[in-house]
Homo-oligomer: A and B are copies of this chain.
């Protein structure tokens, strides 16, 4: 299945559409969230991830897989959010290497304020633009891309 065959028109269109859609949607959502709520998308995602964890807490390594950052990125983002009082670090009693990040009440409030803005953005720019069938197909396709890149990463890394 000649892996070197150039992309045909259809394939090229799909690839470009994927890139363009992501770039535009993310820029828009980020801009809205920053101007209306003073929160970056990454910060929002991190707070949201914490809010759904038991005890509103998670280890750094857990956050790494939920937010789309490397470990060092998570460390710095948590630094920043801790400085804002939205999050607090706690050492793990069992294993002194691990650090828990806990969502503070202030952080939860902040998240709740930002939630509506973000929800509206995601609905308006993404979810509500897709029909039921499309939603299913896109989800299946995207999940396949994510899975495969995941396993391939292990090979290379």
Contacts and interface: CB of A to CB of B under 8 A. Distances in A.
Contact of A22 (B18, B119, B128, B130): B18
Contact of A137 (B21, B22, B137): B137
A137 B138 contact: yes
B4 A142 contact: no
Interface in A101-157: 116, 119-120, 122-130, 132-146, 148-150, 152-153, 156
Nearest to A125: B149
Total copies of this chain within the assembly? 2
Interface stretch (A6-14, A53-61, A92-100): A6-14
Given A125-B148, A137-B137, A153-B24, A68 B143 contact: no
B142 A21 contact: yes
Given A129-B148, A146-B24, A149-B24, A124 B17 contact: no
A72 to B, nearest CB: 14
Given A23-B68, A149-B24, A7 B127 contact: yes
Contact of A145 (B4, B119, B125): B125
A1 B123 CA distance: 10
The 6 closest A-B CB pairs, nearest first, are A17-B142, A24-B149, A21-B142, A21-B145, A23-B68, A20-B146
